[in-house]
Amino acid sequence: MRKIYTIIFLLFISHIMCAQTSQDSIAGRYFLQGVMEMASILELNADSTFNFFYSYGAVDRYGNGKWSLTGDKIILNSRQRPPLDFKMVESKVNTDNRITIQILDNNKALLHYVYCVVSTVSGEHDADANSEGIISFPKEPIDSISLLFRLCPDRYSTFKVDKNLNFFQFRFERWLPEIFLDHIQLKYEEKLLIGQHPLLKGNTYKFSRE
C-alpha cells in the first residue's frame, strides 16, 4: 500500500512540475499582429500576472490581472470593474434657464472628448462638451445623465438625478483609461497566442512572442 501511495505522490509532483514548466515556458511578451495603426502588447509574467498595453492614435491604455493555463488556453482576468467611470462632484439649482453639465480635469485637452446624453420629459438630447468641458441644454425636468469618454468608448456612465436641479459637475475617475479583461481566452501555440482582443470584435487575433 505504501508503494502505491509513493507512486501516486510522485505522479502528482511530476504533474505540478510539468504545469509549472509549461507556464514558465509561455511567459514572455506577445505583440499584436496584422492590425494597422494599432499596437497591443500582452506581457505574461512567470508569477501568473499579466500586463496589457494598447495604443491607437492619441490613446494609450493599459490593463493587468491574473492569467491561468487550461490545456492550451490562456485565460486572462482583471479585477472587477468599478461601476462608473465618472464621479459627480456637485449638483445644484442654477438661476439661468439652462441645464448645464461641466466636466472637470487638469488636462483641458481631454474635456471636449466627453459625449453626453440627457433624458428629460421631452425625450433624449445629446451633445459633446466644448473645449471648456461645458455641455448645455434648454432647461426642463431631467431624469438622468449619461457620459461617455470618446477616447475610451467602452461604456456609458449613467447617473439618476434630481429633476429639480439644473447644474451638474463631473470629473474623470482615475481608472477611466484602464482596460478590464473578463475571461479573455487565447489559444497557445509555439510563440503565438490566437484568440480574443479585449477592445476589438472577433476571436482570431494573433499575438506573436518577442
Rounded Cα–Cα distance for residues 124 and 156 (Å): 14
Beta strands 167-172 and 98-104 are parallel
Identify whether the C-beta of residue 96 lies closer than 8 Å to the C-beta of residue 83: no
DSSP state of 194: E
The CATH architecture to which 2-78+179-209 belongs is Beta Barrel (2.40)
Rounded Cα–Cα distance for residues 77 and 26 (Å): 17
How many CB atoms sit inside 10 A of residue 155's CB?
12
Report residue 189 as a C-alpha cell. Answer: 501555440
User: For the domain 86-172, what is the CATH code?
Assistant: 2.60.40.10
What pLDDT, on a 0 to 100 scale, did the predictor assign at position 199? 94
What pLDDT, on a 0 to 100 scale, did the predictor assign at position 11? 43
In the chain, where are the structural domains located? Answer: 2-78+179-209, 86-172
On the CB side of 156, how many CA atoms lie within 13 Å of its CA?
12
Q: H or E segment at 26?
A: helix 2-26
Residue with cell 501568473: 48
Q: What is the pLDDT along the chain (210 residues), one digit of tens a residue?
A: 555 444 444 444 444 444 444 677 899 999 999 999 899 999 999 999 999 999 998 889 999 999 999 999 999 999 999 999 999 999 999 999 999 999 999 999 999 999 999 999 999 999 999 999 999 999 999 999 999 999 999 999 999 999 999 999 999 999 999 999 999 999 999 889 999 999 999 999 999 998
